[in-house]
């Protein structure tokens, strides 16, 4: 009954998953979106080429560098960063609208983007860093997904060490050794963060109502 009474009386949060390429953040993100009501994926803009199977507006908004620079100058992006010679960013308007409506927004971004989100909206950000079980496993996953050339994979492995150096900047760390277990841990984090007192915008009024009832 209490849960229903408070439904919708909560400001949304920005739930961030970060990891080196191949550690599983995109897979975990898809699982969260499929299985978690009230959670929507933040759709980034990117200057990189579309990969096979990707859809405009679902996976990314694909734009050229000139348009990307224009969005940066106009402060239309909550965060943005260069990654492997391409640029990525999060459009501001859709995220802010969702948060105000009590929806949670999921971000699949790197440490640079996470830092920028914290600088602009620390109270709304919950960050989780996903660790691979080993370097060997990470490289195997990159080869298995068959999306990149050997040169790109080498670049991703070289970058992984630098990305891992930022793990302590995150609120939570999850080891993705077994996918279902990692998903359970990430889902538990989201559930707990949703219940934090400071996010329950309707809680004070609800408690006052209870007090009034008890005092009659």
Strand partners for 80:
89
Domain range annotation of the chain: 2-42+103-200
- Whole-structure pTM value: 0.82
Each of the 216 residues of the chain gets a pLDDT tens digit; together they read: 334 445 447 889 999 999 987 788 889 999 999 999 999 999 999 999 998 899 999 889 999 999 999 999 999 999 998 887 899 999 999 999 999 888 999 999 889 899 999 998 889 999 999 998 887 777 676 666 656 667 776 767 778 888 989 999 999 999 999 999 999 999 999 999 999 988 888 888 888 999 999 997
Where does 43-160 show beta strands of DSSP type E?
Answer: 44-46, 60-62, 77-83, 86-91, 104-108, 125-131
Q: How many CB atoms lie within 10 A of CB 8?
A: 11
Q: What is the DSSP string of 24-45?
A: SHHHHHHHHHHH-TTEEEPPEE
Q: Helix 25-35 crosses helix 179-194 at what angle (to 10 degrees)?
A: 60
Q: How many CB atoms lie within 10 A of CB 95?
A: 23
For the domain covering 2-42+103-200, report its CATH number.
3.40.50.300
């Amino acid at each position: 009954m209490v849960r229903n009474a408070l439904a919708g009386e909560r400001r949304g949060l920005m739930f961030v998953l970060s990891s080196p390429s191949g550690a599983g953040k995109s897979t975990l993100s898809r699982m969260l979106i499929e299985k978690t009501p009230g959670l929507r994926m933040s759709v980034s803009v990117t200057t990189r080429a579309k990969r096979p199977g990707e859809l405009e507006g679902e996976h990314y908004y694909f734009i050229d560098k000139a348009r990307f620079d224009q969005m940066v100058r106009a402060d239309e992006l909550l965060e943005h960063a260069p990654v492997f010679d391409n640029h990525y960013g999060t459009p501001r308007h859709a995220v802010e609208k969702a948060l105000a409506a009590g929806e949670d927004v999921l971000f699949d971004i790197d440490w640079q983007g996470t830092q920028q989100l914290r600088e602009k909206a620390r109270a709304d950000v919950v960050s989780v860093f996903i660790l691979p079980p080993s370097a060997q496993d990470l490289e195997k996953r990159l080869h298995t997904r068959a999306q990149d050339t050997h040169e790109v994979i080498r670049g991703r492995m070289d970058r992984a060490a630098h990305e891992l150096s930022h793990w302590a900047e995150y609120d939570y760390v999850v080891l993705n050794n077994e996918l279902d277990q990692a998903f359970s841990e990430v889902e538990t984090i989201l559930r707990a963060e949703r219940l934090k007192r400071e996010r329950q915008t309707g809680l004070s009024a609800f408690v006052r109502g209870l007090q009034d009832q008890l005092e009659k």
